Chains A and B, each alone.
Chain A
């Protein structure tokens, strides 16, 4: 985990310094009247020190010491799958209010089952239709979740 700790430690160090910088801008006040940035300024400082400790300790660790020696954190083949799933989820969020719950859910399932999992298309379409209809009935009709309707506004159950 040596290299990984250096990367993550550096990331959190930058974040912590940024937190302290922002908190300082908000106003620290004094001890009698601590300002809105006081507490988080010091939280940022402490977190920055801790991340430095993580970085320093990462240099002392030899591979295989206490933790697995495998330097690769991500399987290469899987990265594409993960990225595609994440993109589809972000698109779901972005398009949800515009296209409505029914259409985006149907598209999401067709994409996940068809394009990612590579199942047979008749099954993909059938399962996607069933899941979309059932989830609509459970959440919109049953639990009255007020999901966005989009162009299918006229569909009222």
Chain B
């Protein structure tokens, strides 16, 4: 306990340095902005700004990039409530009741409860992170190649299990991501793989240009087709502070959302999007007036908004303690830390305590900044939303082009981004998801080397994966996740036939 207290004080020392405070502020400000803007999510924004962070210290860089992520969770709610367009995916459910509240003239309390709920949940997640992080790090130090292999398989399986579309398609995309991770030099044999004598493939396919293509460019291409409709509320937003009655109705939704979101955030493959949907479902189920959901129930805003923020905090745990990114945003952050010469994982806390504790504590501060920033700046965000899309999309494209080029000052990364932009567009059209591909691309190299190392350790005996208890538990989880959908589908089919 005293250790944790000591570390938190040390973290405050790092996070309160003026330079880090400034980057934290930039991070949450940019995050809120990308959260507000439809068509530019936190994954694309972090990918875009990553090259710009190469010149600053890794601690400041991580503080800023983390700020973008949880800042986007705040910003996303604003567009959901006012325009009925989710600024980013984790705010989709907020549209359901948030916009209804706005139509009834209660935009103020909806925005207010979303901001306060997010603040409470964000703070809860950071406190929980402070306690859970170190113990998980200590446990993970005992992990060998088989445990890592099994854990990462669970991560990929969870993401495919939670995918909104077909699980088979999600698994296929994970397979493609694994293969993409193999492009370049094999770390064990030194042989080049899948490079086809193309110079720019020798170093492998970078996560960042692929993510920018799949999430940034493809999103713009889709929006070009659909022409975003905007009917922004013209009435002035007032009474941002929720009334006592509002608080009474939503406080337990916030508490439930915080706890649920945190645990869904920790699970690799989980994250903010799933957490917000799960929270909405739970709130509707336990409500005494479920018929009010979809018509402007404040619980339908408070719960999911709390859950997505808490999950954003929770998802830092697998990254910082196990070296496993829980979602695409963390995958890009993982890539960023590697570029800064840091290996995310159980040793990070010892090797770079300033980064570990500085980042965690900066989230306390960032959450406070967001609360102060978000409420008074809402009129400004509404103005940003009025920027017409014909002007916005060339800007987003330009940012992506500059971002991809700046990675290694090479146009090859732009080409990779554009190719994956086209692929991402087609994937969305054919209902394939990009997230499993990115996660597998990030984890792929580690999955493959830990798989091969395990087999070398056991002299080719596969039982090494099930004879070690931790690895066995992970594998059973993965198998259950694969089997459950088949069983439930069978049941559904048989009831239909009856």
Interface residues of A (CB under 8 A from B): 1, 4-5, 7-8, 12, 15-16, 19, 22-23, 26-27, 30-40, 43-44, 46-47, 50-51, 53-54, 57, 67, 73-75, 78, 81-82, 85-86, 89-90, 92-94, 96-97, 105, 108-109, 112-113, 117, 119, 127, 131, 135, 139, 143-147
Task: Tell me whether B182 and A145 are in contact (CB under 8 A).
Answer: no
- Give Cα A33–Cα B194 distance, bound, in whole angstroms: 20
Which listed residue, B168, B178, B406, B421, touches A50 by the CB 8 Å rule? B168
B residues with a Cβ closer than 8 A to A are 51-52, 55, 166, 168-169, 171-172, 175-176, 178-179, 182, 186, 188-189, 191, 193-194, 217, 221, 224-225, 390-391, 393-395, 397-398, 401-402, 405-406, 409, 411, 414-415, 418, 421-422, 425, 429-432, 447-448, 451-452, 455-456, 459-462
In the complex formed, the residue of A with least CB distance to B191 is A36
A-B CB contact pairs (8 Å), 19 listed: A4-B430, A8-B432, A22-B194, A33-B456, A40-B182, A40-B193, A47-B179, A57-B168, A74-B225, A82-B225, A85-B221, A86-B421, A86-B422, A90-B415, A93-B414, A105-B398, A112-B397, A143-B55, A144-B55
For the complex formed, measure the closest distance between the CB of B394 and the CB atoms of chain A, giving whole angstroms. 4
Known contacts A16-B175, A127-B391, A32 near B456 by CB under 8 Å: yes
A85 touches B224 (CB 8 A): yes
8 closest A-B pairs by CB: A31-B460, A47-B175, A32-B460, A93-B414, A8-B430, A36-B186, A117-B390, A112-B394
CA distance A145 to B53 in the complex (A): 10
* Closest residue of B by beta carbon distance from A25: B193
Contact status B411-A97, CB under 8 Å: yes
Given the complex of chains A and B, what is the CA–CA distance between A147 and B414 in angstroms?
13
Alpha-carbon distance between A97 and B391 when the two chains are bound, in angstroms:
25
Flag if A53 contacts B168 (CB, 8 Å).
Answer: yes
With A82-B225, A145-B51 as contacts: A89 and B460 at CB distance below 8 Å: no
Q: Are B176 and A113 in contact (CB under 8 A)?
A: no
Contact flag A44-B430 (CB < 8 Å), given A26-B191, A117-B390: no
Determine the main DSSP class of B at the interface with A.
Answer: helix
Measured CB to CB, the closest approach of chain A to B428, in angstroms, equals 10
Tell me the complex Cα distance, A38–B166, Å: 27
Interface SS of A by simple majority: helix
Chain B nearest Cβ from A14, distance in angstroms: 12
Closest B-chain residue to A50, C-beta based? B172
Shortest A135–chain B CB gap in Å is: 6
For the A-B complex, the count of residue pairs with Cβ-Cβ distances under 8 Å equals: 155
Contact check, A47 vs B401: say whether CB atoms are below 8 A apart.
no
A81 vs B389: C-alpha distance in the bound complex, in angstroms?
A: 15
Min distance, Cβ B26 to any Cβ of chain A, angstroms: 12
Which A-chain residue is minimally distant from B430 (CB atoms)?
Answer: A8
CA distance A139 to B448 in the complex (A): 38
User: Cβ of B402 and Cβ of A145 under 8 Å apart?
Assistant: yes
**Residues in A neighbouring B179, C-beta threshold 8 A:** 19, 40, 43-44, 47
Q: A32-B459, A78-B224, A85-B224 are in contact. Are A47 and B430 (CB under 8 A)?
A: no
Q: Are A51 and B172 in contact (CB under 8 A)?
A: yes
Question: What residues of A have a CB within 8 angstroms of the CB of B461 in the complex?
Answer: 31
Of the listed residues B175, B188, B447, the one surrounded by the most CB atoms of chain A closer than 10 A to its CB is B175
Whether B430 contacts A40 by the Cβ 8 Å rule is no
Name the contact of B411 in the complex, choosing from A22, A44, A96, A139 (C-beta under 8 A). Answer: A96
**Distance in angstroms between the alpha carbons of A2 and B30 in the assembled complex:** 42
What's the nearest-Cβ distance from chain B to residue A87, in Å? Answer: 10
Tell me whether B188 and A36 are in contact (CB under 8 A). Answer: yes
Q: Which residues of B contact A145 (CB under 8 A)?
A: 51-52, 402, 405-406
A47 to B160 Cα, complex, angstroms: 14
Between A108, A135, A145, the greatest number of chain B beta carbons within 10 A of the residue's beta carbon is seen for A145
How many Å lie between the Cα of A54 and that of B402 in the bound state?
Answer: 38
